[in-house]
Amino acid sequence: MNHVNDAPALVVLAAGLGSRYGDAKQVEGVGPRGEWLLEYAIRDALEAGFGQVVMVIRAELRAALIERLAPHLEGRATLQLVEQTFDRVPAGCRAPAGRGKPLGTGHALWCCAPLLHGPFAVINADDYYGRSAFRLLEEHFAHHANPAMVGYRLDATLSSHGGVNRGVCRIDARGHLQDVTEFIDIAVRDDALGGNAPDGTRQPLAPDTVVSLNCWGLTPALLPDLESGLRGFLAHAGENDEYFLPHAITQYLAAHDEALSVLPTDDTWLGLTYPDDRAQVVAAIEALHAAGAYPAPLWAQR
């Protein structure tokens, strides 16, 4: 997949409000020259063979994203920005009245669906997924037609400053995803790792539990189901409901009896969930540069 037109696309979901972080964390400087976490993901994806970058954004981020990213991607990958807005919905639908926050990650992906014509990865803008994630996805796309997900050890995805929400995965003997259960407020408390299950009970979780960080490898076959699911969501959505991408993927897999491959990685996640996470992320990124994983500045030629 060396030709850009044949290469998979990277979809970056960057329209979130970051309510717990309290700022536009998508453009929070964490690298030695103020690089953003999403820049590390884009560079890693390009090195793995991706050739198109599609970003789902809020309007107020457009100018900063173009100014920073366009010069680095020129001649290496196409860059397309799509705004996630309340009026961007399927024909005949409308967003709930009084809506303040985005309609969810499933809606975000639907917004850029017309730009996706081959395999694509989907990630969050405010997470660092590690250098192997995109190599795993590119290698999967090169040999398989079914969707995939990069799976992380739970203990490699925690924050020192508060609980996190994670999709806890159940995987069969063939390495295929059986289901994802969203646990919230996962943290170590009283020397025990646990989280709140959907029924509200606090349940213990093993450190090596495989979790989803929304690092997906998908194909356009999902997109018609994504739209039909969005239509169903909008028909009954309340003011604060969200159309989540993991739910849409689960529904698609069940409807088509399709398997999703879980690609395990030992990489450690970095992310900006709470303001106090920034110092830890900056130190970890600095260590990666010092170890030679990345040049400084990030976009310098090796």
Per-residue pLDDT of the chain (302 residues; tens, 9 = 90+): 333 457 899 999 998 755 554 456 788 999 999 999 999 999 999 999 999 999 999 999 999 999 999 999 999 999 999 999 999 999 999 999 888 889 999 999 999 999 999 999 999 998 999 999 999 999 999 999 999 999 999 999 998 889 998 989 999 999 999 988 889 999 999 999 999 999 999 999 999 999 999 999 999 999 999 999 999 999 999 888 999 998 899 999 999 999 999 999 999 899 888 888 899 999 999 999 999 999 999 998 76
Task: List, as one string, the DSSP characters of 226-292.
Answer: HHHHHHHHHHH--TT----HHHHHHHHHHHHT---EEEEE-PPPEE-SSTTHHHHHHHHHHHHHHTT
Count of alpha carbons within 13 angstroms of residue 181, beta-carbon side: 14
Contact 11, 122 (CB under 8 A): yes
Residue 42 burial (CB < 10 Å; 0-12/13-18/19+)?
A: buried
Give the global pTM.
0.92
Coil, strand or helix at 73? helix
Backbone angles phi, psi at 207, to 5 degrees: -60, -30
Domain boundaries, the chain: 4-290
The class of domain 4-290 in CATH terms is alpha beta
> How far is CA 130 from its chain centroid?
12
148-194 pLDDT tens trace: 999 999 999 998 889 998 989 999 999 999 988 889 999 999 999 99
